[in-house]
Amino acid sequence: MAGPAFDDRDGFIWYDGVMVPWRDARCHVLTHALHYASCVFEGERVYGGKVFKLTEHSQRLIDSGRILGFDVPMTVEAIDEATRDVVARNGIVDGYVRPLAWRGSEMMGVSAQANTIHVAIACWLWPSYFSPEARLKGLRLTIADWKRPAPDTAPTASKAAGLYMICTLSKHKAEAAGFDDALMFDYRGRVAEATGANIFFVKDGKLHTPTPDCFLDGITRRTVIDLARRKGIEVIERTIMPEEMEGFEQAFLTGTAAEVTPLSEIGPYSFEVGEITKGLMTAYDDLVRGR
């Protein structure tokens, strides 16, 4: 995002129970998480000074840590309180929150049972993940070379840092080719998700979305499913094969950062930014802003 480097900003970061100046929130180069990806995190949005679905995110941080074999040394309530404190201390009205937990540096090697588990929470201004112009006309996606791994080869139910390596590779390649993002298939060749957001399709007034059996069942994803059902739209969670995209009329992404973002293109397939997509964009915006 535009702005100063993320290690050189004014403000405060909550770090292991202490509110420290932003530039002082550092860890050692031999931190286990840096070498072996033993880190979990969350992405949260602040609207009007309040974090949307904060407790769900805090719980998922703890759950993700347990999947990676460590206990986050805080309760959900304590994470909620610390998050609210750091948002208030930084004066964030509309922005982004990044809580994370990771193994420290007491042991260096694959085995690191004795390492301290650290927790930090940062927040900053972040108006939109994609540009307003791109969101209005629909994003262009390419097809990623990398595939989401099988759940018996990686801890796919956790929001773990290591799972995003192939997302970075895929998004970098997509952007270098002039696209906004990339659609990732799963290990079986089925439609899975984008590099940092879940995906939905519209056909004959119904929503279709892949079953999240090897990728995150996103909090925004579940929120949008609930909004759609309240509007009387049938939501079908199922296996979606790549060739089916030719028959879908609309498509959009959902995620904390992406919110509800329409798509105009995925590889050779084109979509309209239709009324169902626009209606869910408005409904989601109204919900998070308390309108």
Same CATH fold assignment for domains 12-125 and 132-288: no
The per-residue pLDDT for range 166-203, each reduced to its tens digit, is 999 999 999 999 999 999 999 999 999 999 999 999 99
Q: How many CB atoms lie within 10 A of CB 217?
A: 14
At 153, give phi and psi (nearest 5°).
Answer: -120, -10
Residue 128 pLDDT: 67
- Of the CATH numbers 3.40.920.10, 3.40.50.11540, 3.40.50.720, 3.30.470.10, which one belongs to the domain with range 12-125? 3.30.470.10
Q: What is the rounded CA–CA span in Å between residue 50 and residue 44?
A: 10
Beta-bridge partners for 255: 259
Q: How far is CA 275 from CA 120, 185, 252, 271, 272, in A?
A: 41, 27, 12, 12, 9
pLDDT at residue number 130: 67
Q: What pLDDT was estimated at residue 1?
A: 46
The question of whether 231 is a catalytic residue gets the answer no
> What is the per-residue pLDDT for 129?
63
Q: Are the beta carbons of 148 and 188 closer than 8 angstroms?
A: no
| Residues 165-197 as b or e (16 or more Cβ within 10 Å = b) | ebbeebbeebeeeebbbbbbbbbeebbbbbbbb
Residue owning tokens 């498509």: 251
pLDDT at 126: 83
CA dihedral 249, 214, 40, 146 (to 10 degrees): -70
- Its pTM stands at 0.94
Q: What residues does each domain of the chain span?
A: 12-125, 132-288
100-113 pLDDT per residue, tens:
999 999 999 999 99
- CB contact at 8 A, 139 and 263: yes
Check residue 132 and give its pLDDT.
Answer: 67
For the chain, the average pLDDT equals 96
pLDDT of residue 131: 64
CA-based nearest residue to 43, from 143, 164, 151: 164
Using the structure block, give the residue that is written with the tokens 């994003």.
139
**Among the options 50, 147, 159, 278, which is catalytic?**
159
- Of the CATH numbers 3.40.50.920, 3.40.605.10, 3.30.420.40, 3.20.10.10, which one belongs to the domain with range 132-288? 3.20.10.10
Taking 70 as the pLDDT cut, the residues of the chain under it are 1-2, 128-133
